[in-house]
Chain A
């Protein structure tokens, strides 16, 4: 009886090893050249054990979209992220972050529910730095992948306006609270 159990465990372990190897190689295969097919392929892989590759897939899909700019790419990525969220690979919050970071004029980096003096001003330089990095992602998502110059320039303008307004607002906040000066 013990022998049979041990044999069974041995076989199970071996099978698991084989499965891991298959999944791993399956996850790393090159994606098809067409963006729609690539998205479909990615979703299949994410459903079959390749969840850990999500970010890498997302970047690959973005690169493919950059090579094939199309205003519909925004929709493709939105739908893809919604499906991936439904599959449970990423949370809704993550899906929102991915989408908005690349395809929305608004900046994920400038958000929060506390007042500006308390939340953004103490880390003003960091907020601006994050927004500048995010603009680079919007350049990929909006300008290159979606060929949406108008939206990208709006984001660019928004960044500049936010920089100006934050600078003034934070100075005004600091003037009203001298102890807070220098917390940037």
Chain B
């Protein structure tokens, strides 16, 4: 449970910044005013601190895990050397949990701030000032009649550090670096949904950390390396440092360039 929560939490956080994105073309929709951008930048900074804090611990965990495996300790019950290594691993694992526990309240605050500010903008700009018709036009606005657009790769892109993703995201919405072909509405929606999920998961994870730490303290007396521990460490590495890829973009349309489209007088 704990490992799944931690992994989900971090995954959710990484996904939020994954939402590549945007620059407006049509009517001005102010989804990312300065306050929202500041919230995102702060979340990026908190994520960076969390990474720095965990990087050394995780590297140590990796080393210890490698040593443990290379020493053929898996299943070697009763071997004193293996028991010692398992205990060291457990201690490092506890250290990681504590580091996360310390950083989570700050992460929670940053995530909640971003979520609240985005929620307000989404409600005002897309909910109250936009009709379903104009919403559709807004989304379609980036897709030109002559074809290709660089759609945001939504949810699931991996391989980049968490803080870097936030920086990329900040750059996208703050400076429109990636050109005018992406939908801010989609980015805002994606980030908001992820932040909402992250917020719930952070609360749940905080509750779980205490319990997991206690369990690990108990395990210390027996020198166990549980599959849960391995899963948590794997999840944290994947999410914080992008060590594995699990890209599932929502669509990859094979746009064709240069076609001119027929426009019917009946078109909406």
Chain A interfacial residues counted at CB < 8 A: 51
- B residues within 8 A CB of A37? none
30 residue pairs A–B, Cβ–Cβ below 8 Å:
A96-B268, A99-B264, A99-B266, A104-B268, A105-B143, A110-B133, A111-B136, A111-B268, A115-B128, A115-B130, A116-B126, A116-B132, A120-B132, A150-B147, A154-B253, A156-B251, A157-B250, A160-B251, A161-B183, A162-B135, A162-B136, A162-B139, A165-B139, A166-B135, A167-B189, A167-B193, A168-B188, A168-B193, A169-B123, A173-B128
Known A106-B268, A111-B136, A170-B127; further 4 A-B contacts with Cβ < 8 A: A153-B255, A165-B126, A172-B192, A173-B127
User: Cα distance A114–B259 when bound, in Å?
Assistant: 34
Binding site secondary structure of chain A: helix
Which among A106, A153, A173 is the interface contact of B140 at CB below 8 angstroms? A106
Tally of chain B residues near chain A (CB < 8 A): 45
Q: Which residues of A contact B (CB under 8 A)?
A: 71, 74-75, 78, 81-82, 95-96, 99-100, 103-108, 110-117, 119-121, 127, 149-151, 153-154, 156-158, 160-162, 164-173, 175-176
| A-chain residues with CB within 8 Å of residue B41 when the two chains form the complex | none
Flag whether B120 is at the interface (Cβ < 8 A).
yes
Q: Is B265 among interface residues, defined by CB-CB distance under 8 A? A: yes
Q: Cβ of A172 and Cβ of B122 under 8 Å apart? A: yes
The reply to whether A171 and B264 form a contact with Cβ atoms under 8 Å apart is no
B264 partner, pick from A78, A111, A112, beta carbons under 8 A: A78
